[in-house]
């Protein structure tokens, strides 16, 4: 992107918000394909603002669920967030973010899971209220409303798998990747709600005011994600 990079020394670098862990790890090859090397590993450095080999591009490391907020308010021009996080954010902030590219990384499914032996189909047929524990309350509410199932949603922030084991809930709505976590806790997935992958999101104002700087980066992400999907 050098020919179109803003060389004004006072200009702020393009800021990309993302979370540590799987999304960060799977984003590195996409950045490398765009010719961008990251200068530090956030797992070891504890720094929250990380430079790159391109002085006009920096990363900020935030909680996964905060990525849409940083981008929506323009503290970051770009972000990478799972569709799970974007569904929850969009329920409270509709239309706030431009989502141009499915990066095809950090893929998994949002599922309903219950204890092995729990008769889920009878429970939802009987018209009784189902107690569902989840971090994804908006996605869960929409899913069960579409099925016409009455639910009491219990908001949790982690370790959802525990809830059916200790009587907090009949079912959970959680992300499933390999299925190992469910299996280790004697749970089974009984319904898929939606396929999840991470998306590039863009601040709407940046898209207009920094279009020339952003476009080569968007093109590089698009191309890298297409070859990632094909591999």
- Note whether 26 binds ligand AMP by CB under 6 A: no
- Taking the least distance from each CB to ligand AMP, the nearer of 6 and 197 is 197
Separation of alpha carbons 198 and 64, rounded Å: 11
CB atoms < 10 A from the CB of 231, how many?
6
Please give the Cα distance from 228 to 189 (Å, whole number): 27
Between residues 87 and 207, which has the closer beta carbon with respect to ligand AMP?
A: 87
By CB under 6 A, residue 3 contacts ligand AMP: no
At residue 131, φ and ψ (nearest 5 deg) are -95, 120
- The radius of gyration computed from the CA coordinates of the chain, to the nearest angstrom, equals 20
**Site membership for ligand AMP, residue 171 (CB under 6 A):** no
C-beta of 179: minimal distance to ligand AMP in Å?
5
Of 58 and 83, CB closest to ligand AMP: 83
Could you tell me if 169 and 73 are in contact, meaning their C-beta atoms sit under 8 angstroms apart?
no
121 part of the interface to ligand AMP, by CB under 6 A: no
Nearer to ligand AMP, 1 or 160 (CB): 160
What's the closest the beta carbon of residue 103 comes to ligand AMP, in angstroms? Answer: 12
How many CA atoms, within 13 angstroms, populate the side-chain half-sphere of residue 43?
A: 6
> Does residue 157 touch ligand AMP according to CB under 6 A?
no
Two tokens, residue 33: 């394909």
Per the CB < 8 A criterion, the answer to whether 38 and 59 are in contact is yes
- Residue 88 interacts with ligand AMP (CB under 6 A)? no
Burial of 111 (0-12, 13-18, 19+ CB in 10 A): buried
> Using CB under 6 A, which of 175, 188, 207, 218 touches ligand AMP?
175
What is the total count of residues that contact ligand AMP (CB under 6 A)? 12
Establish if 188 lies at the interface with ligand AMP (CB under 6 A). no
Please give the residue ranges that form the binding site for ligand AMP (CB under 6 A).
22, 82, 106, 108, 174-181
């Amino acid at each position: 992107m050098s020919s179109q990079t803003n060389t004004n020394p006072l200009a702020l670098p393009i800021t990309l918000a993302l979370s540590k862990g799987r999304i960060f790890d799977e984003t590195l090859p996409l950045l490398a394909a765009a010719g961008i090397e990251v200068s530090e590993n956030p797992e070891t450095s504890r720094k929250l603002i990380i430079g790159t080999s391109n002085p006009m591009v920096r990363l900020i490391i935030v909680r996964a669920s905060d990525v849409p907020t940083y981008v929506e308010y323009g503290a970051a021009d770009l972000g990478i967030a799972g569709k799970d996080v974007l569904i929850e954010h969009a329920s409270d902030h509709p239309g706030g973010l431009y989502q141009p590219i499915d990066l095809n990384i950090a893929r998994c499914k949002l599922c309903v899971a219950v204890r092995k032996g729990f008769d889920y189909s009878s429970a939802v047929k009987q018209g009784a209220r189902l107690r569902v524990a989840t971090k994804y309350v908006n996605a869960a509410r929409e899913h069960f409303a579409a099925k016409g199932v009455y639910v009491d949603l219990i908001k949790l922030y982690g370790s959802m798998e525990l809830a059916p084991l200790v009587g907090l809930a009949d079912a959970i709505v959680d992300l499933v990747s390999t299925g190992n976590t469910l299996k280790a806790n004697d749970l089974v997935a009984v319904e898929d709600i939606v396929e999840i992958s991470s998306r590039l999101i863009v601040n709407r104002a940046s898209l207009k005011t920094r279009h020339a700087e952003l476009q080569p980066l968007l093109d590089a992400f698009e191309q890298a994600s297409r070859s990632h999907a094909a591999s």
